[in-house]
Structure 1
């Protein structure tokens, strides 16, 4: 198996792993320092490989650049301390539901940043992948596909190795079980019995994912699903251990999407969930929702009734 195929096999894992790395909302571009184990240093150029991953989330778009040695352990990117290059822009692609070209253009500065990090001689053989999440899954009609097509066109004119299938929307289950793998990898649980692994709850902008390992016996009791639907349990073989991971994604329960759902209930009237004195418009997924406080003020009790 060549390096291209090996790297592309690793990218989905790193795509979800990047969700748990620290980010900063204070800057348009950030490059946080993280500490990950590295066993190989001082390698010549032929021993390195690069990969570029775009995480197109509901709240923003991020790009990550990774460098690997021959064993696909992480190496420093650009200096002796940073093991990942990271940059982000806000808002996310779903904010441009009615303007696919603007959505693609929002990624242009990230692509430029990534291309400047990857050495020129590596660019033609450095794969780039973009995974979009619930923000695009929630868009109506063909809006999501039109955005993806515009993004594909942008990447096709770049210097990195790209194929059309490398731009896609992740399913809710993919978000959940890759997050489970990422968390348990980072805390050193992979290879241990399933009962010693961590459960994961991930709240994004558009959805919430829940994932945890269960016994084989319980996995066999999982209900069947209709064709085309995500299964309740996924089986993995990781570091010599067999895992059955229950995963479920709750669409519209993310931080941003849930606000829109609550405002839908009020049907353009006042809402007890809105802070006292506020009167404005909330935009999400290409739609606008009136957001105004109730004349009687904010009420936690009434807010619970509304959200339920």
Structure 2
């Protein structure tokens, strides 16, 4: 299915604070600026031209490449998003904190996807950009920079166009906002005549994001600090998004916090126990370049109630509950929300599906209370499903009847911030 990008580009230009009179000129400027990045070949004036962009998502548990194909129909028309090629590699760059050159090797491997997707003649005009998320935010600055330097070196050696600021760590708030814009564009909710939109819930390995358009003024007025609100103008209306990114509350970081293993010394001789794990389970588990000894509690009890009390301490007093979470607003939930729902047999791994919050709770109870007799496919499934339930209910404050749309792709495009970030690169989205 072909996806029309013009509407989102118009939105983003108005977001930047442009009047209607300025927008028409700016659309032409944007077309021209893309043309200057991607020099035109000698072709008839009405010939459709194709151009490409490569966006790397360097997450805490994996590195993903998105290769977007755009079509430019004419000099005065905006491009159309035609296709996305997606590929990912595990683990994330942060796993190579002690051997940064491996981070460069990972990116070099993924660049092969871009070379296969983008015709050789277009390489020099195709920009490559990498944005790192919570995995690198959780590292010490100098260690994160060492990893980014390796990526920059690989980019500089590649045959692609390397723009200024091509490799950096993305701000967590922008991660949520760009994902919201991407999903609402792809679902057709960014239209001039309606303010009906969908919220987004993104659960990564290191951080989690919530972004939605409130309907009640008190939701905006009751935020704990100002940076929970992003304001911008669309079609002469001012939109105020409720948005926040919680570093340390992604699924993998939450496992560490539940186990009491965050920032603990002497990992080689410590064993971290949890009633969220099968009683006889004992194994090594790695995240962020460190390896932990983890086990169930062989002398204690396991099950949903005890597990919930463990994960509650990771959520309570940390996750702010918005004043309103409208039942009429559908939330799209992706990343680990989707993956764990598939693992638990709640949704199809290709189609996704609609779930209520209570569906996570019900399956968490089943998995946790039966894991002694029926070991789950993942030893962490009880902990993960319980954490997701707790995050949604006691964290954000969703009702058990709240409907979530679990999705991996929308109209054949990955549900993530990457499309929004690619468009952001082309014309510097200004968010206040």
TM-score by length of 2: 0.56
1:300 is displaced (CA, Å) by 2.1
Does 2:176 correspond to 1:156? no
Alignment of 1:118-133 (within 5 A): 118-133=118-133
Equivalent-residue separation in structure 1 for 2:196 and 2:169 (angstroms) = 31
Secondary structure in 1 aligned to 2:271? coil
Secondary structure in 2 aligned to 1:142? helix
Please say if residues 214 and 220 of structure 2, whose CA atoms lie closer than 8 Å, have aligned partners that are also in contact: no
Does 2:306 correspond to 1:302? yes
Instruction: Choose from 63, 66, 72 the match for 1:64.
Output: 66
Equivalent position of 1:255 in the other structure = 251
Please say if residues 96 and 102 of structure 1, whose CA atoms lie closer than 8 Å, have aligned partners that are also in contact: yes
Please say if residues 4 and 127 of structure 1, whose CA atoms lie closer than 8 Å, have aligned partners that are also in contact: no
- Residues 60 and 148 of structure 1, relative CA distance in 2, 3 Å threshold: same
Which string of whole-angstrom CA distances, capped at 9 and with x for unpartnered residues, describes residues 108-161 of structure 1?
A: 111122022211221111111111111111113421111011100011100110
Equivalent-residue separation in structure 2 for 1:72 and 1:130 (angstroms) = 22
Instruction: Choose from 280, 283, 287 the match for 1:280.
Output: 283
TM-score by length of 1: 0.76
- Residues 243 and 216 of structure 1, relative CA distance in 2, 3 Å threshold: farther
Which string of whole-angstrom CA distances, capped at 9 and with x for unpartnered residues, describes residues 224-251 of structure 1?
A: 85xxxx8221123346653211101111
Equivalent position of 1:18 in the other structure = none
Equivalent-residue separation in structure 2 for 1:110 and 1:231 (angstroms) = 35
Equivalent-residue separation in structure 1 for 2:62 and 2:97 (angstroms) = 14
Equivalent position of 1:14 in the other structure = none
47-56 vs 267-276, which moves further: 267-276
Equivalent position of 2:75 in the other structure = none
Equivalent-residue separation in structure 2 for 1:167 and 1:139 (angstroms) = 16
Secondary structure in 2 aligned to 1:273? coil
Equivalent position of 2:100 in the other structure = 100
Equivalent position of 2:90 in the other structure = 90
1:222 is displaced (CA, Å) by 6.1
Equivalent position of 1:205 in the other structure = 205
Unaligned runs of 5+ in 1: 10-42, 76-82
Secondary structure in 2 aligned to 1:214? coil
Equivalent position of 1:53 in the other structure = 55
Equivalent position of 1:20 in the other structure = none
Equivalent-residue separation in structure 1 for 2:235 and 2:156 (angstroms) = 36
Does 2:202 correspond to 1:233? no
Instruction: Choose from 275, 290, 293 the match for 1:290.
Output: 293
Please say if residues 260 and 272 of structure 2, whose CA atoms lie closer than 8 Å, have aligned partners that are also in contact: no
Equivalent position of 1:28 in the other structure = none
Which string of whole-angstrom CA distances, capped at 9 and with x for unpartnered residues, describes residues 142-197 of structure 1?
A: 21111011100011100110035111111110111111111111111112577521
Equivalent position of 2:239 in the other structure = 243
1:288 is displaced (CA, Å) by 2.3
What is the aligned residue count? Answer: 263
- Higher RCO structure (Cα 8 Å, ≥6 apart): 2
Equivalent-residue separation in structure 2 for 1:2 and 1:216 (angstroms) = 35
Please say if residues 281 and 290 of structure 1, whose CA atoms lie closer than 8 Å, have aligned partners that are also in contact: yes
86-95 vs 256-265, which moves further: 256-265
1:278 is displaced (CA, Å) by 1.2
- Residues 89 and 238 of structure 1, relative CA distance in 2, 3 Å threshold: farther
